[in-house]
Amino acid sequence: MITLGTLKNDLRGRKQVRRVGRGVGSGVGKTCGRGQKGAGARSGYKRRLGYEGGQFRLFAKLPIRGFSNARFRKELDVVNLSQIDQAYEDGEVVNAETLADKGLLSGRTHGVKILGDGELTKKVTFEVHSLSAAARDKLQKAKITFQLSRS
């Protein structure tokens, strides 16, 4: 019979808690592994990431390699054709303002990209920042006009 007292977790063992300050025989008595005096012996002290005790940090010695443009990337809100088909009627214009009014945008991005998931049965006009290849093909086949804006 299994009871709460007999349950075992064999998948991952529980790490023993290090009990410090419990006598010299424990190996971490008196000063609790913090040495004698100084900032490291005081409460609230946290070592800065990469700090090597005054020695020049290794990562500061190594050269900077490569470049990432990720910080400057302009995020686009994505909307599928199926969402547009549900939210719009014939003759309407699909742009950032109307998409925001219908609650299809997060409002935290730099533009709108239309993706090709789903089918579009309504005749609407697109004024968006970007189209996926699939969305572009579907719009051209349906002879729907679209205009890409740069802002």
From the list 128, 121, 127, the residue with the least C-alpha distance to 142 is 121
Residue range 13-62, pLDDT digits in tens: 777 889 999 999 999 999 999 999 998 899 999 988 888 888 999 999 99
Domains within the chain, CATH numbers bracketed: 18-65 (no CATH), 75-146 (3.100.10.10)
Residue range 75-87, pLDDT digits in tens: 899 999 999 999 9
Residue range 111-130, pLDDT digits in tens: 899 999 999 999 999 999 99
Question: Who wins on pLDDT, 23 or 5?
Answer: 23
Start-end of H helices in 4-111: 58-61, 81-87, 96-101
Can you tell me which residue has the tokens 């006598």?
Answer: 23
Give the per-residue pLDDT at 28.
Answer: 93
Q: Cα–Cα distance between 47 and 34 in angstroms, integer?
A: 12
Binned at pLDDT 50, 70 and 90, residue 151 comes out as low
From the list 115, 105, 37, 51, the residue with the least C-alpha distance to 80 is 115
Residue range 85-103, pLDDT digits in tens: 999 999 999 999 999 999 9
pLDDT value at 150 more than 80: no
* Beta strand segments in the chain, E: 77-80, 93-94, 112-115, 125-128, 130-131, 146-148
Question: Who wins on pLDDT, 51 or 10?
Answer: 51
Start-end of H helices in 21-132: 58-61, 81-87, 96-101
Binned at pLDDT 50, 70 and 90, residue 106 comes out as confident
